[in-house]
Structure 1
Amino acid sequence: MKGLWIVFTTVFLAELGDKTQLATLLFATDDKLDRVGVFLTASLALVLACLIGVIVGSQLPKLIHPATLKVVAGIGFILVGAWTIYDGGFNGN
Structure 2
Amino acid sequence: MNNAFLVSTGVVALGEIGDKTQLLAVVLAARYHRPGLICLGILIATLANHLLAGAVGLVVADLLNPTTLEWVLGVSFVLMAGWLLIPDKLDEDPKPLRGLGVLSTTIVMFFLAEMGDKTQIATMALAARYDSIAMVVAGSTLGLMLADMPAVYFGAKAATRLPLKLVHGIAAALFAGIGLLSLASAAGLIGA
Normalised TM-score (structure 1): 0.71
In 2, Cα distance between equivalents of 1:11 and 1:74: 13
Q: How many pairs are equivalent?
A: 83
Secondary structure of the residue aligned to 1:38 is helix
Q: How does 1:16-27 map to 2 (within 5 A)?
A: 16-27=17-28
Matched residue, 1:42: 42
Q: CA deviation at 1:51?
A: 0.6
Structure 1 position 8 matched with structure 2 position 9: yes
Normalised TM-score (structure 2): 0.38
| Structure 2: gaps of 5 or more residues | 88-192
In 1, Cα distance between equivalents of 2:81 and 2:26: 28
In 2, Cα distance between equivalents of 1:33 and 1:55: 34
Q: Which amino acid aligns with 1:69?
A: V
In 1, Cα distance between equivalents of 2:12 and 2:48: 14
Task: Write out the 4+ residue segments of structure 1 that deviate beyond 3 Å after TM superposition.
Answer: 78-82
Q: What is the aligned-residue identity percentage?
A: 22
Q: CA deviation at 1:56?
A: 0.7
Q: CA deviation at 1:33?
A: 5.0
| Structure 1: gaps of 5 or more residues | 86-93
Secondary structure of the residue aligned to 2:18 is coil
1:6-58 CA-partner distances (Å, limit 9, x unpaired): 1111111111111111001100001x452211111012111111111111111
Secondary structure of the residue aligned to 1:17 is coil
In 2, Cα distance between equivalents of 1:48 and 1:9: 20
Matched residue, 1:63: 63
Q: 1:50 to 1:74 in 2, by over 3 A?
A: same
Q: CA deviation at 1:77?
A: 2.9
Q: 1:44 to 1:2 in 2, by over 3 A?
A: same
Tell me if the contact between 2:15 and 2:84 (Cα under 8 Å) persists in the aligned partners: no
